[in-house]
Amino acid sequence: MDIKLARIDDRLVHGQVVTTWTKITGISRILVVSDEAASSELRKFLLKQASPPGVKTNVMTVEKLIEVSAHRLLDDVKVMLLFTNPTDVSHLVKAGVPIEKVNIGGMKFSNGKKMITNFVSVDETDIEAFKFLNLQGIELEIRKVPSDRKINLIDVLKKVE
């Protein structure tokens, strides 16, 4: 599996992913990694329908991705991993899935979260997961679309803590 982009965006497959990120990364497959989305047949169907032409989308649990990540059928397949939260990313990293960089595109505000940018909100669980990923040497960039300036998430967290 050739991971071209690992992205946290709670909207998962949507316009920005379809129109910009898939083109600039040259991927052929989107892997939505979300226990919640994988448990809903309707949501899986809708996410697959939102994929651009020529890009196959699969929706799976974190455990399923861990299970299939080293499978020969995925050799040389250029993939985008989409997540809703950093905890799922940290589970994959702990299981040995090689992720070098994580793009944070959007994490909506909800009770218990604090806004750190106008489109990224985090709680303590998110912060701990991001700190773990940072300690593993994984680059954490905030960027909605490829043309945006990269912002280092850890630098932003230091300013708001």
Which positions are catalytic?
A: 14
Backbone angles phi, psi at 142, to 5 degrees: -95, 125
Cα–Cα distance for residue pair 70/96, rounded to 1 Å: 10
Amino acid at 121: S
CB of 76 closer than 8 Å to CB of 21: no
Read off the tokens for 6.
Answer: 């690992």
- Rg (C-alpha) for the chain, rounded Å, is 15
Both structure tokens of 92: 């994959």
Residue 134 three-state SS: helix
Instruction: Write down the H helix ranges in 7-85.
Output: 15-16, 22-25, 35-38, 41-49, 62-68
d(CA 50, CA 7): 17
